[in-house]
Amino acid sequence: NAGVTQTPKFQVLKTGQSMTLQCAQDMNHEYMSWYRQDPGMGLRLIHYSVGAGITDQGEVPNGYNVSRSTTEDFPLRLLSAAPSQTSVYFCASSYGRTAAGEKLFFGSGTQLSVL
Amino acid sequence: GENVEQHPSTLSVQEGDSAVIKCTYSDSASNYFPWYKQELGKRPQLIIDIRSNVGEKKDQRIAVTLNKTAKHFSLHITETQPEDSAVYFCGGSNRDDKIIFGKGTRLHILP
């Protein structure tokens, strides 16, 4: 049982490049989400999904796209990277609805630098 | 939408003393309030949580209190130990299933 797996662990991009951060979980969790962590800003919600085929925006969705074609995978796409997207990105999942008190399991994070 | 404010941003306490971190939330419909601990270079992990129908919850040296009327909740750590040094995040979740976190508190336990 690997839990929540994020790839890559580190990535350097040039401004304007595109890339996809991968997130996969093997716990049959319905809920998945992406957060970014910046110094002094805490964890900010980018996008989340309550099940396959369903996605919604979080606090800071601009510049990011997501899709949820399977229960296991929730990739985060940066279409045209900007220096403001330099951050540590965490994927998280939970068995059920977070409003019902389900615990979030976080991945190990992806450190992204945009030059 | 929900907004969660957390104070202080940095807290230093002597080993063995107590630490208190406070959070306020804006959405009166929020009903679930977790606390996550993040050690240096690690992922956040849940340490305790509380539902809106409960005023207080305790787990060994850690306790959380909730005041729904005032819309604030607090984390209390007693008999602090070196391994308590970390960043702590409070969160609030409403019926939209978004967990919104505060900006975090960096806790230093001084020897």
- Quick: pLDDT tens for B19-37: 999 999 999 989 999 999 9
**Residues near A75 by beta carbon (within 8 Å), at least 6 away in sequence:** A20, A21, A22, A23, A66, A67
Residue A1 has pLDDT above 80, yes or no: no
**pLDDT tier for residue A97 given thresholds of 50, 70 and 90:** confident
- Cα angle, residue A103 at apex, residues B75 and B97 outer, rounded to 5°: 95
Given a contact cutoff of 8 angstroms between Cβ atoms, the answer to whether A77 and A65 are in contact is yes
Q: Which two tokens stand for residue A80?
A: 């045209």
Q: Which two tokens stand for residue B37?
A: 């601990």
**What is the CB neighbour count within 10 angstroms for residue B99?**
29
> Residue B54 has what pLDDT?
85
What percentage of chain A exceeds 90 in pLDDT?
A: 88
Residue A13 has pLDDT above 90, yes or no: yes
Rounded-to-integer distance, Cα B2 and Cα A111, Å: 27
Pairwise CB contact (< 8 Å): A50 & B97: yes
Tens of pLDDT, residue by residue over B40-76, are 999 999 999 999 888 999 999 999 999 999 999 999 9
> Residue B20 has what pLDDT?
98
Q: For residue A31, which residues of chain B lie inside 8 Å, CB to CB? A: 97
Phi first, then psi, for residue A94 (nearest 5°) are: -145, 160
Q: For residue B51, which residues of chain A lie inside 8 Å, CB to CB? A: 101
Q: For residue A48, which residues of chain B lie inside 8 Å, CB to CB? A: 97-98
Tens of pLDDT, residue by residue over A69-81, are 999 999 999 999 9
To test the contact with chain A by mutation, choose from B49, B95, B98, B106 the residue with the greatest count of A C-beta atoms within 10 A, namely: B98
Pairwise CB contact (< 8 Å): B101 & A44: yes
Q: A86 exposed, middle or buried (CB, 10 Å; 0-12, 13-18, 19+)?
A: middle
> Residue A98 has what pLDDT?
77
